[in-house]
Amino acid sequence: MDKPRVGLKDVAALAGVSVKTVSNVVNGYVHVTPATRSRVEAAIKELNYRPNLSARNLRQGRTGIIALAVPELDIPYFAELARFVVTAAEERGLTVLIDQTGASREREQLVAEGFRAHLIDGLIFSPLALTPEDLAARMDDTPMVLLGERVYDGPADHVVVDNVAAAKEATLHLAATGRRRIAAIGAQDDVAAETSRLRLAGYFEALAEAGLPADDRLVQHVEDYHRADGARAMARLLDSGQAPDAVFCFNDLLALGALRTLLERGHAVPGEVALAGFDDIEDGRYATPTITTVSPDKQAIARQAVDLLAARMTKGSQAEAREIRVAYQLMIRESTGG
Amino acid sequence: MDKPRVGLKDVAALAGVSVKTVSNVVNGYVHVTPATRSRVEAAIKELNYRPNLSARNLRQGRTGIIALAVPELDIPYFAELARFVVTAAEERGLTVLIDQTGASREREQLVAEGFRAHLIDGLIFSPLALTPEDLAARMDDTPMVLLGERVYDGPADHVVVDNVAAAKEATLHLAATGRRRIAAIGAQDDVAAETSRLRLAGYFEALAEAGLPADDRLVQHVEDYHRADGARAMARLLDSGQAPDAVFCFNDLLALGALRTLLERGHAVPGEVALAGFDDIEDGRYATPTITTVSPDKQAIARQAVDLLAARMTKGSQAEAREIRVAYQLMIRESTGG
DNA sequence: AATTGTGTTTACAACGTTGAATACAACGAT
DNA sequence: ATCGTTGTATTCAACGTTGTAAACACAATT
C-alpha cells in the first residue's frame, strides 16, 4: 500500500522484453509484433503503469503544458475565456495551467519574466498593469501570445478586438436611440490601462460623430472593473446633479453595478437611463433588463491564441510577430430598449 | 537567439565550481563561502539560469503541482472557489492546475483514475456525476480531497457543508416570512446527483417542521444548474396553474434564472413570490432584488482542502480519512424581503 | 550458399537535477 | 606532532524516459 513507483523497467521485466520495447509500445511505434505488443500491454495493465511525465519532459525538452495568465478567475469574462482556452488547448493535446496575476504589476512582471520557466512550453497572457518597458525587458524566450489590444512592439503575437471601433459602435447606438447626455464609466488614470484608454477614445469619437458635446463630468474613473466600482460610479453620476440619460460602461460588470444603483434609486432602465456594456458575459443576459453589450467572439479569441502559440512553439521564435483581429458584435438588448 | 538551454553545468563552468556547488547555492544550502556564493550568483544572473523543474521533479519524485477538478470554470461558484484554492495553494508553494470535467461522468472517471499521474502531487476534486463505485474502483494512489457532501466510504478526505441543514434553514426562513406554497427548483433524477438529493431532503424536512404539506408539483427537476434551467423551471411553475408564493432554488444561478422569468412576466419579487438561492455568488448580491442565499465559507473550504491535501501528501495515505465540516451562513436579502 | 533487404528488438547514452558519500583544508585540543 | 572536528567543496550515481545506432531474425533475391 505504499508507493511501488512502477516504471518502464518493471513492465519490461514482467513482460520479458527490453525497456525500449515497452517504450515503443507505449508510444505506438509501428514495428512491434502483435504478440509482443499484447504481452506488454498485459503487463502494463497488471502493474497499472503510468508514464512519468517529468522524465518524458526532461528527455524531450517539452512539458505539454501552457499557462494562461489572467487578472482574476472570478471575473466572468476571464472565466468564460479560460474555459474556451482549456477546450482549445485540449484539442491539441495541451494542458492549461492558470495563473492569477491579481492585476498587480509585480505579479505580471513575474509571469512575463518566466517564473514558470521549464514548466510551461508557452504562455497566453492577458496583462493589465504591465508597461511596454516591462515587456521589452522580458528575457525569457518561452513563446508568448498576448490578449488585448496591441500596444507593444515586442516580438509577441497578439489576439485583439478592435476596442476603439467597438466602443464607438456601442456609444453611437446609444446616440441613435435619441440620448443626448451619454456618460462613460470605466476610465482609468493608470498609464498602463490600455483597454480603458481605447474604449474611452471610441466613446469620444462617437460623441463627435453624433454631434454631441464631450463633457468631462460625464466620464467616471474607476479603480477596478468590478460590480462595486460600477455601482459607486453610477452613484457619483446621479449625485452630481448632471444625471445622464445613457451610460456606456467599459465592461459588463461595471454595467451590472451601475444597473443595481439605478434600480435601487428608482430610476427606470431604459426609460430614464439607457445602459450598454462590454464583454457579453452571461450575467448580462439574465439581468432585468438584459444588458446591451459588445460581444467579442471569445471562442475565436481562445482558438486563435492557442493556434498562434502552437505555431510559435514549433516554428521557433524567429517568425515575425503576428496580430490577429477577432470579430465582435453589438448585442442590442432591453437596457437600450432593444 | 535560438535555444541555449542553460543548465547547472553551464553556470558551474562560468563560475569555476562544480555543478553540485551551484545546486547548493540555488537551494540555499548553508555551507557555502560568501565569496563562492556571490560568484555563482553572478554567473546565474549573467546566463539567466532557471532550474529545470522537470529534472528536479524527476529527481525528487514530486512536482509541486496539484490539480483542482471542477465541473465548469464559468460557473461563478467554482470560479470563486478556484480563486481561493489557487491563493491557498500558493501560500504553500504549490501550483494549481485546473481541470474541467464538464460534469461528464466519463471525464470525472478519467480524473479520478489519475490521467495526470506523475504530473500532479495531489488532487482536489469536486465530482458531480461520479458514482461511489467509480471512486471505489480508483487505482491511482495520488492523494485526493473531495469537495461536496460525504457520500463515499473510500479512503479520501472530504470537505463538506451541511447541505441538509443549510437547505432546511433557507426553506424555514421562507416559511417564517409567511409563505405557504414554497416551491423547489433543482431536483435531479440522476442517482449520482448527491447535492440535489441532500438539498431536497432539507427542503422537505423544513416543510414538515413548518407544518406545510409537501406537494410534488412544486418540485421542479432540472438538467443542469445554470441560469437557463432556472428560468425554464420557473416558467413551468407559473404555467402549471399552481403558482407558488416562494421558491427555494438549489443554487444561485437557478435563482437568477428564475428571477429573470418572474420579472419578465411581471411578477413582483418578493411581493408576489419570494426567492432564495444557495452559494452566495457575487451576481446575487447585485441583482435587483438582491438574492437571499446560503453562503458557504468558500475561503475556508479552499484552505481546508489544501491543508488536508498537503497533510496527506507528506504523511502518506495510511492515515484515516478525515471529514471537515465548513461553516455556512444564511444571507437574508431583498428577494425575501430582508 | 551468400547477399540483400525488411522488420523487430536491444544496448547505450543523455536530458538536468540532487542525495549520499567522500575529499580536502583549516583549526583547536590533546 | 597527532587526532578529531568543523566547514566547504567535489565526485558519483540515480530518477524514468527516449533517440540513435546497432544487433538480430528471417524472408526474398541473387
Q: Which CATH class is domain A163-296?
A: alpha beta
pLDDT reported for residue B135 = 83
Higher-scoring residue by pLDDT: B316, B221 = B221
Q: Which residues contact A75 (CB under 8 A, 6 or more apart)?
A: A225, A226, A253
Q: Locate cell 517564473: which residue?
A: A115
Q: Locate cell 521533479: which residue?
A: B57
What's the gap in Å between the CA of A141 and the closest CA on chain B?
A: 8
Q: Locate cell 402549471: which residue?
A: B240
Beta-strand runs (E) in A222-283: 246-249, 274-278
Residue B198 to residue B187: CA distance in whole angstroms? 10
Q: What angle do CA A95, B78, A147 make, to 5 degrees?
A: 50
Query: Residue A2: is its pLDDT beyond 70?
Result: no
Residue B76 to residue B91: CA distance in whole angstroms? 23
Q: Locate cell 498602463: which residue?
A: A192
Interface test with B, best of A286, A312, A334 (most B CBs within 10 A): A286
Residue B151 to residue B153: CA distance in whole angstroms? 7
A5 touches chain B (CB under 8 A): yes
- How many residues belong to chain B? 338
Region of poorest pLDDT, from B16-30, B80-94, B114-128: B114-128
Interface test with A, best of B119, B227, B267, B318 (most A CBs within 10 A): B119
| A8-51 shares its CATH topology with A63-160+298-327 | no
Q: Which residue of A has its CA nearest to B231?
A: A286
pLDDT reported for residue B2 = 47
Q: Locate cell 418578493: which residue?
A: B270
Rg (CA), chain B: 26
Query: What is the residue extent of each domain of chain B?
Result: 8-51, 63-160+298-327, 163-296
Phi, psi of A65 (to 5 degrees): -110, 135
Q: State which residues between 57 and 96 of chain A bring their CB within 7 Å of strand D.
A: 58-60
pLDDT reported for residue B104 = 86
Instruction: Report whether A206 contacts A172 (CB < 8 A).
Output: yes
What is the per-residue pLDDT across B146-179, written as a single tens digit (0 to 9) for each? 998 766 666 789 999 999 999 999 999 999 999 9
pLDDT reported for residue A130 = 83
Residue A291 to residue A294: CA distance in whole angstroms? 10
A177 touches chain B (CB under 8 A): no
Neighbours of A190 (CB within 10 A): 15
pLDDT reported for residue B277 = 98
Amino acid at B243: A
Residue A104 to residue B100: CA distance in whole angstroms? 26
Phi, psi of A5 (to 5 degrees): 50, 70
A106 touches chain B (CB under 8 A): no
Type and span of the H or E element at A187: strand A182-187
Confidence of residue A4 (pLDDT cuts 50, 70, 90): low
Compute CA A291 distance to the chain's CA centroid, rounded to the nearest angstrom: 21
Which CATH number applies to B63-160+298-327? 3.40.50.2300
Query: What percent of chain B shows pLDDT beyond 90?
Result: 75
Query: Residue A293: is its pLDDT beyond 80?
Result: yes
pTM exceeding 0.85: yes
pLDDT reported for residue B93 = 86
Q: Which CATH class is domain B8-51?
A: mainly alpha
What is the per-residue pLDDT across A146-189, written as a single tens digit (0 to 9) for each? 998 766 666 789 999 999 999 999 999 999 999 999 999 999 98
What is the per-residue pLDDT across A61-76, written as a single tens digit (0 to 9) for each? 888 899 999 999 889 9
- Give the ranges where B92-139 is alpha helix by DSSP (H): 105-113, 132-136
Query: Residue A138: is its pLDDT beyond 90?
Result: no
Amino acid at A163: N
Residue A301 to residue A239: CA distance in whole angstroms? 39
CB pairs under 8 A between A and B: 135
Report the footprint of strand C: residues with C-beta closer than 7 angstroms: A 17-21, 24, 29-33, 35-36, 55, 58-59, 61; B 5, 7-9, 19-20, 23, 26-27, 49-52, 55-56, 58-60
Instruction: Report whether B83 contacts B96 (CB < 8 A).
Output: no
Residue A237 to residue A193: CA distance in whole angstroms? 22
